[in-house]
Structure 1
Amino acid sequence: MTSVIFLGTPKFGAVVLQGLIDQGYKIEAVVTQPDKKFGRKQELHQSEVKKVALANNLKIYQPLHLSKSEEMNELLSIRPDFIVTAAYGQFLPTKFLQTAKIKAINVHGSLLPKYRGGAPIQYSLINGDKQTGVTIIEMVKKMDAGEMYGSRAIDISDDDTSGSLFEKLSIIGRDLLLEVIPKIIANQIVPTCQDEDKVVFSPNISKDQEQIKTSMTATQAHNLVRALNPQPGAYILMHNKRYKIWQSEVSAEKCSLESGYLVSKNKEFAISFSNGTILKILNIQPTGKKPIAIKDFINGQGNQFKVGEKIVED
């Protein structure tokens, strides 16, 4: 039976892990990020990968920093056939990768060499790409730079968010991985090198990038909303108060107002952006409150904003 150490954290990784379990691979250990506190009540939440591991009675490791952890020595001693990662969120020591008897491979959520790094799905939306996909690569010391064992592309629909793309790509990644592993074992697949001239990086989203700014066009603002839904959420500053925007729509109309003005709040909350473009806010979340449909916001807090007034600050 082919043995695997699996490393992953969010649902993307959980889907891949469950696929390996269902196909009969021997999961020697599961490594995932430590439980984290969320919300005002600071309740402790387990990662989606941990939930799958617990449901299948698998050995779980949750070091804060894998390379400096006590767990590292135990993991080094396992020496599995494969080390498989899928959205784990930490760099892996070379000495650990070298313990794989066959290969250490990663399920990466982009069409490499485009979008190496920790936020490939988000950047595909931010940049308005028409396609994204999954690539299976060998893990090497350099980030996401290993040889490729296969890739699969899908179209990005107009209503996709990072959440919906994560779900789609997790299934594609699972299926592609389960096709690739037997071929690697049987020496039936020849990996290809990435074209270094086409490398694009996708570093983790910074706090500053979460803000919708008046320098953006409506399309750029809309793409940011999609990219940061469901986590961490894009926000806009209106009258110096922060509001998260969970759903939006680019208007087909244009206006002569400068960026940041309220264009309309008659059954819609429309704001002007760069180049005369207009963004309709469809779902909004005031700080400390739950997300609400824009019609409910207009009927409540909307009376503090006046049409023709500059309401957005950077």
Structure 2
Amino acid sequence: MPNIIFMGTPDFSVPILKDLHEQYGVGLVVSQPDKPVGRKRVMTPPKVAAAAHELNIEVYQPDDIKDEAAMAVLESFKPDIIVTAAYGQILPEPLLQLPKYGAVNVHASLLPALRGGAPIHHAIISGADKTGITIMYMAKGLDSGDIITQRALSIQEEDDTGALHDKLSRLGSELLLETLPSIFEGSNERTPQDHASATYSPNITKEDELLDFDRPARQVFNHIRGLSPFPGAYTNLEDKRFKIYSAKLTGEKTTGQPGEILSVHDEGFLVATGDEKLLVMEVQLAGKKKVSAKKFIQNREDLIGRLLG
């Protein structure tokens, strides 16, 4: 069996780690350091580190993978291959050259489209009708290495980032396990990316989370589902942050002002956008729990006519 280092951090990487370990055995897991979580700031390991502990795999969590000490640890392990999936740090070139079978990455887009840290969010926000998984050799640039294999996945209108995240994680695991034998045999393809066609998907910022109801309903709808369930798209209501996690297109034209709460609906409430009414279905006012929009609007007739934003 090859000596494998797996590098990953969030939920996305967990099924990939588990399936890889079951098939080949993973000798070392490298993940980001523990972080404080919640109001009590409890130090909590990343999902991949927690999964590795459950699988009794050795875990290493350096602050900076480029440190000499970190490099010494990884060199001492003498990996045959490094497999990464949403690790969160750029690997230094000496590390990429260390394993005899190279360092390969499971990336959640059809490269060269959507290089970067948030390809799932940006695929939905942009209104793309498909995305996919790329298994690629890692290189010095951001997600710029040669492509080994790819598989496309259609994006359904009911998909939000959470649903698409889970589908791509499973697809990534399947494609990786299908691809690894050809890498070990030396029979795999290696296709350079068309760098001129590259697009990017930077990590989501607070500014990216803000909704703009002046835009057409479909763009607002894509924005909401592209940020659901994490981190959540927001607007403002009664001078408080108001997150919207779920909405539905109605196709009904509106004469209301963009952002105006128009009326109560069986499934929530209707709000005006730049062209059509949008049905808001799940919300969260700052300091409160996430609730259905129907429950939120009950006994709040005073909100009809108010402007979001």
Query: 1:127 — aligned with what?
Result: 126
Does the CA-based 8 Å contact 1:132-1:153 persist in structure 2?
A: yes
TM-score, length-normalised on structure 1?
0.94
Q: Distance in 2 between matches of 1:69 and 1:164?
A: 39
- Shift of the alpha carbon at 1:93? 1.0
- Shift of the alpha carbon at 1:36? 2.1
Q: Distance in 2 between matches of 1:2 and 1:45?
A: 31
Does the CA-based 8 Å contact 2:234-2:242 persist in structure 1?
A: yes
Query: 1:143 — aligned with what?
Result: 142
Q: Distance in 2 between matches of 1:58 and 1:69?
A: 23
Query: 1:38 — aligned with what?
Result: 37
Range with greater deviation from structure 2 (132-141 or 246-255): 246-255
Distance 1:189 1:266, change over 3 A: closer
Structure 2 counterparts to residues 188-203 of structure 1, below 5 A: 188-203=187-202
Query: 1:5 — aligned with what?
Result: 5
Query: 1:246 — aligned with what?
Result: 245
Q: Distance in 2 between matches of 1:82 and 1:30?
A: 12
Query: 1:221 — aligned with what?
Result: 220
Q: Secondary structure at the match of 1:270?
A: strand
Q: Distance in 1 between matches of 2:92 and 2:124?
A: 31
Q: Structure 1 residue 182 and structure 2 residue 181: aligned?
A: yes
TM-score, length-normalised on structure 2?
0.95
Query: 2:308 — aligned with what?
Result: 312
Structure 2 counterparts to residues 100-115 of structure 1, below 5 A: 100-115=99-114
- Shift of the alpha carbon at 1:303? 3.8
Distance 1:125 1:135, change over 3 A: same
Structure 2 counterparts to residues 44-55 of structure 1, below 5 A: 44-55=43-54
AA in 1 matched with 2:10? P
Query: 1:269 — aligned with what?
Result: 269
Unpaired runs of at least 5, structure 2: none
1:147-194: CA deviation from partner (whole Å, max 9, x where unpaired):
110000111111111111111111111111111111011121121111
Aligned pair count reads 308
Distance 1:251 1:96, change over 3 A: same
Q: Structure 1 residue 83 and structure 2 residue 58: aligned?
A: no
Does the CA-based 8 Å contact 2:264-2:270 persist in structure 1?
A: yes
CA RMSD of aligned residues (A): 1.5
- Shift of the alpha carbon at 1:266? 4.3
Runs of 4+ off more than 4 Å: none
Structure 2 counterparts to residues 154-173 of structure 1, below 5 A: 154-173=153-172
Unpaired runs of at least 5, structure 1: none
Does the CA-based 8 Å contact 2:149-2:189 persist in structure 1?
A: no
Range with greater deviation from structure 2 (105-114 or 290-299): 290-299
Q: Structure 1 residue 290 and structure 2 residue 286: aligned?
A: no
Query: 1:18 — aligned with what?
Result: 18
Distance 1:185 1:125, change over 3 A: same
Q: Distance in 2 between matches of 1:134 and 1:179?
A: 13
Q: Distance in 2 between matches of 1:296 and 1:37?
A: 33
- Shift of the alpha carbon at 1:54? 0.4
Q: Distance in 2 between matches of 1:270 and 1:45?
A: 40
Does the CA-based 8 Å contact 1:162-1:226 persist in structure 2?
A: yes
AA in 2 matched with 1:236? T
Percent identical across equivalent pairs?
Answer: 39
Does the CA-based 8 Å contact 1:272-1:279 persist in structure 2?
A: yes
- Shift of the alpha carbon at 1:43? 3.1
Distance 1:50 1:196, change over 3 A: same
Q: Structure 1 residue 209 and structure 2 residue 205: aligned?
A: no
- Shift of the alpha carbon at 1:40? 2.2
Q: Secondary structure at the match of 1:249?
A: strand
